Structure 1
Amino acid sequence: MTVPPPILRHSRKGLYTPLLIALAVLVAWTGWWFYLTHQIESGIEARAVEMRAAGWEIGHGRITTTGWPFRTRIAVAYPTVTAPDGRAVSAPSLIAEASTYNPDKWVLIAPKGLVLTRADHSKMAVRGQALRMSVSHLKARFPDLRIQLDQPVFTPHPGAEPFPILRAGQLQIEARPHLVDGAATSADVDVLFRLTDARARPGSLLDGLAVQGPVEGWIETTIAGADHLRGRAILGDLETWADAGGRFTAVRGELKAGVSTATLSSDVLTIDTNGRLQGTVALIADKPLPALAGLARSGVTGVDRAAAAGAATATALTGETSAINLPLVFRDGRTWVGPFALSPAPKLF
């Protein structure tokens, strides 16, 4: 008689072990996600308390946190940040998002546009296909900052001073620590501003220069002494920075206005006590006559049309039809081309 083999009973622990490990990882990750979001919310509130103590006004509606498990997404309804001098930024909603596993890089989006309150308390709405800002390397002395506005449209509120740009294809601003031999310096920041396919507002200074054509260009510089701007939130204290010897170095750029093109450079530009630029910019202009003639015909307040006409005539008398050296000098609060004071120098504060 044949004896049947014994029945082998396999343990089912091997089946449950992977599930238990996955469950433990999920629980730990969920705990980390809630801890991270709590830390972020606490940090936002602590920063708001510091700014209120310094004279800022911070307001907002409901704050919601979503994105579990791989994203941390904070939505703020009706945020408003007002500086002590009255300048402000507000929006119907603001969304900040980061990867849960890498919370050192954040992307901020204003899906319904922004409203900017300028120093004269006038308001301007900014809308576009996409309005976003990214901030990374938050633990560094100066984080990397990138602002990108796609198809922005600038609309002043009733009674507000018109913004010189009506709309643009894209506007970019980048700021990052200045590097020397591959290492970041302690007090300098590199800044890049780029504008593409912009249309000047009719009657503005840019409209006169562009003769109703497109405007685009870029400019880069190093902000020396940026430590005096660090920690001053959105608008910065430019006056304190200027009083401490702040200046713009290694200024380089290019501007296209209608058919006129100019490349510019300057080793250093400073700020006077009235907040206006001072210094010399080397300008190599290609076909500058249409721009100067358009400026002379413009009705912009503050522009010396007779001086612009004189500069245009002097340019025409040189007999040059292409590129010429046309240095700009900012002094005494004015912008000079040779002996001609065309307009007020750019004002920063």
Structure 2
Amino acid sequence: MRAMRRLIWVVLALSGLYAGYWALGAKALRGGAEAALVEVRRAGWGDAGGLSLAGFPSRFDLTLDAPRVTDPAGAFEWRAPVAQILALSYQPNRVIFWAPPEQELRLGGQAFTLTNTDMRASVEVGLNEAAPLSEATLVIETPALAGAQGALRAEARQLRGAIALAPAQPETPDAPAYRIGLELLDATSPALDDPIAQLTLDAVVSLTAPLDRHLAETQTPPRPEHLSLRRLYLDWAGKRLLVQGELTPDAAGYPQGKLVLESAEWRDWIATAEAQGLVPAKNKAMLLAAAESLARQSPDGVLRLPLAFRSGGIFFGPLALGPAPRLW
């Protein structure tokens, strides 16, 4: 009996200690969340109608009422009626984010509704004051984007994304680097003639500043210093395209460098590019002749087309194909 009483007291003492740990952790987490919300609100990055904390004894479940994330420049806004941030009590630096089946987006002044059957993200940060991002993942099942009047704009079977801290790149040894992955499956849209069977991205980007909690204190998000495009693959109605290369933005935000496009269906791609107005009609014959010549140099008949990015434009050899996209 004496041994049993001792065991009971030990269990009670440990339970009390754990309950105290949870209470202290919950108080610290709530205080940190409230302070972060104040910073986010002050910097113009978003807001929430309120927050509550539950989950004892094994989790910290933070619920945000009417959360909103906004680009300070006004180009982007996300809203939802509710969202949750969930963490195990013994691993508070790794959280799971849950969003409801219906959300609101505003892009470039246009309003959209985003629906899904499941949307979850996980984020892991470092255990220090700055809370630097270690890795994050996002999975959205059956996402569908509709306009303000309910007209379907796009939908897909699945969208997956990931970002993780990566070793510094040789081109920018002093800049924080992140590996980015993306996969989109079975995407359709009335704006596309054919569905996209698969779109995948594997890239490493070096930024001007790390991704940490100090982002909420600045009006200007980190800018890319270098992009290593390891693999961009697109299967669009049987037209397959692989893109690889290196790009470095100049002071004005225009990419400089080279990308290599690889495709066996290059004639179909040239026809599509011409139909979309990406290739001037006057350049089509020259581009076809050059592509034919390059494809004949490949034993498998696959076209490997090097494109140079310079002076704000895209060039195939001396031939200007059009303007390059500006990154900021």
1:121 corresponding residue in structure 2 = 109
Amino acid at match of 1:348: L
Q: 1:279 maps to what in 2? A: 257
1:224 equivalent in structure 2: 206
Note closer, same or farther for the CA distance 1:129–1:157 as it changes in structure 2 (3 Å cut). Answer: same
Write the letter of the residue equivalent to 1:201: S
Inter-partner Cα distance in structure 1 for 2:14 and 2:227: 51
Match of 1:9? Answer: none
Q: For the Cα contact (< 8 Å) 1:190–1:220, is it kept in 2?
A: no
* Structure 2 contact 247–256 (Cα < 8 Å) conserved: no
- 1:168 lines up with 2:156 in the alignment: yes
Question: Which ranges in structure 1 are unaligned for 5 or more consecutive residues?
Answer: 1-11
Structure 2 equivalent of residue 294 of structure 1: 272
Residue aligning to 2:118: 130
Match of residue 139 from structure 2: 148
Aligned in 2, Cα 1:145/1:311: closer, same or farther, shift over 3 Å?
Answer: farther
Q: Which digits, 9 at most, give the CA deviation of each residue in 1:39-80, with x for residues without a partner?
A: 1111111122223333x1533234222211111111112101
TM-score by structure 2 length?
0.81
Rate the CA distance shift 1:155–1:345 in 2: closer, same or farther, 3 A. Answer: farther
Q: 1:58 to 1:141 in 2, by over 3 A?
A: closer
Please state how far the C-alpha of 1:99 moved relative to its aligned partner: 0.6
| Equivalent of 1:191 in 171, 176, 179 | 179
- Residues 95-153 of structure 1, C-alpha deviation per residue, up to 9 Å, x if partnerless? 111111111210101023432322x2223332222222111133264321222222222
- Correspondence for 1:241: 223
Partner secondary structure for residue 123 of structure 1: strand
Secondary structure of 1:177's counterpart equals strand
Amino acid at match of 2:57: P
Report the TM-score, using the length of structure 1 for normalisation: 0.77
> Measured at CA, do residues 191 and 151 of structure 1 come closer, stay the same or move farther in structure 2, by a change above 3 Å?
farther
Alpha-carbon RMSD:
3.4
Partner Cα separation in structure 1 for residue 282 and residue 133 of structure 2: 43
1:85–1:327 distance in 2 versus 1, CA, 3 Å: same
Instruction: Indicate which of 50, 55, 58 corresponds to 1:70.
Output: 58
Letter in 2 for 1:35: L
Residues 257, 291 of structure 1: 8 Å contact kept: no
8 Å CA contact 1:311–1:337 kept in 2: the answer is: no
Q: Counterpart of 1:306 in structure 2: which amino acid? A: A
Which amino acid counterpart does residue 284 of structure 1 have in structure 2?
E
* Conserved? CA contact 1:63–1:75, under 8 Å: yes
Q: Which runs of 5+ in 2 are unaligned?
A: none
Task: State how 1:1-349 maps to structure 2 within 5 Å.
Answer: 12-54=1-43, 56=44, 58-86=46-74, 87-118=76-107, 120-139=108-127, 141-158=132-149, 166-179=154-167, 187-203=175-191, 207=192, 212-227=194-209, 230=212, 231-233=214-216, 237-238=220-221, 241=223, 246-249=225-228, 251-270=230-249, 273=252, 275-298=253-276, 303-304=278-279, 306=281, 309-310=284-285, 313-314=288-289, 318=293, 322-337=301-316, 344-349=323-328
Q: Distance in 2 between matches of 1:187 and 1:180?
A: 7
Range moving further from structure 2, 289-298 or 145-154: 289-298
The alpha-carbon distance between structure 1 residues 328 and 295, as it changes in their structure 2 partners (threshold 3 A), is same
Q: C-alpha separation between the residues in 1 aligned to 2:219 and 2:140?
A: 21
Task: Give the number of aligned pairs.
Answer: 316
